[in-house]
Amino acid sequence: MRKASIVAASAAAALVAFSATGISHTPARAADAAPVPIGLIYSKTGLLGGYGAQYAEGFAIGLAYATHGTGTVAGHKLVVTERDDAGDPAKAVAAAKDLIGTGTKIVAGSTSSAVALQLAPLAAENQVLFISGPAAADAVTGNNAYTFRSGRQTYQDVATAASAVGDVRGKKVLVLAQDSAFGQANDKAVEAVLGAEHGATVSNLYVPLSASDFAPFAQKIKDAKPDVLFVAWAGATGEALFKTLDDQGVFSVTKVVTGLADRASYATFKPFESKVTFLSYYFYQAPKTKANDFLVSELKKAGKVPDLFDPDGFAAAQMIVHAVEKAGGDDPKKTTAALADWSFDAPKGRETIRGSDHAVLQPMFVAKLSGAEPQLVRTLDANAVAPPPHAFK
């Protein structure tokens, strides 16, 4: 079984390096409690591999932060086993079953929404703690009492977008989305927020994940003549998509709003940065928190800065450390109880895990791109973008 090796060299050496025996920690004492195995299942490869790398990086640094560099919680050594699901739900399920079968009672990860929606019922069936992230599908929230999330959900994205696009009552909103669990979740959220709550007429245009020629979809957008185009996109094909939209003149005929993606996408938006409104889950200059300062500081040692999903991993680590500490181990009944209604200071700011459905109430941001880096337009309070309560299935 291969152990994780996911942090930048400086952070690994100083704080939370993964090795053949798990996380580095202070020398064990005879009185130390039993080790706690943790399964980390995410996309190391595949369409969302870049996002997975950010998540894993943040997770390692978050463990260092939450355990003060020891890798232990109340005497329990945290032993992390990493598995690559490549964005494939079947691979993720197989990995989770293998980990659970060998005694793992805490599983984190799921870069893909399709993966998260398969792992959630598996967690309930086997009664293990599952902390999903960065998967954004709203259906993860309220899925079952054993499933949590460490990042935002699609409703929060769309509620942030609603604050940025202005009055849409009586206007046409078109959702351009990948034909995936993530894209479909965005479509439903736009229907709920901009449609039902704000009075827009919402339609959708789904694009196959395998698509590489986006010109036909650009033409369909122009033919539809929407007042607002909401783009829900993830992964490596974003650059080609937005270049095509620009080349085909879409930005000149409609208002475009989308999520500010990872740092690799910033250059993509450079030619038309003034034509796009950005909702933002996270960019490292936006929050002013102790946890974010630590994240920035540790990555600076490796010549890097935090990216979009570093906070998801960081927060997941904080959640696991808190759950193990309060539970005195990894008993799922106790770890899940420890997380319900818990508030904590994450890199993004103050976050609260709503006990009724495990939504993570958190601040969101509106940003603009100007030059090489984004600039903060406004911060939205956690309650302003809180999703409606969704009772457990």
* Residues in a beta bridge with 129: 106
Mean pLDDT over the full length of the chain: 90
pLDDT tens-digit series, residues 110-129 = 999 999 999 999 999 999 99
Domain boundaries, the chain: 9-152+287-362, 155-280+367-385
Report how far apart, in Å, the C-alpha atoms of 328 and of each of 22, 55, 79 are: 19, 26, 16
pLDDT band at 301 (very low <50, low <70, confident <90, very high): very high
**Between residues 1 and 183, which one has the greater pLDDT?**
183
155-280+367-385 and 9-152+287-362 share a CATH fold: yes
**Between residues 174 and 19, which one has the greater pLDDT?**
174
> Quick one: CA torsion of 370, 374, 379, 383, rounded to 10 degrees?
130
Question: What percent of the chain is modeled with pLDDT above 70?
Answer: 92
Predicted local distance difference test score (pLDDT) of residue 234: 85
Question: Mean pLDDT, to the nearest integer, of 226-233?
Answer: 95
CB 147 within 8 A of CB 358: yes
Predicted local distance difference test score (pLDDT) of residue 32: 66
Contacts 24+ apart (CB under 8 A), 350-357: 350/382, 351/315, 351/382, 352/382, 353/148, 353/319, 354/386, 354/389, 356/389, 356/391, 357/141, 357/142, 357/389, 357/390, 357/391, 357/392
Predicted local distance difference test score (pLDDT) of residue 143: 97
pLDDT band at 235 (very low <50, low <70, confident <90, very high): confident
Residue 338 in tokens? 């420890």
The CATH class of 155-280+367-385 is alpha beta
pLDDT at 29 over 70: no
Predicted local distance difference test score (pLDDT) of residue 190: 95
The CATH class of 9-152+287-362 is alpha beta
Going by C-alpha positions, the residue among 58, 48, 52, 51 that lies closest to residue 8 is: 58
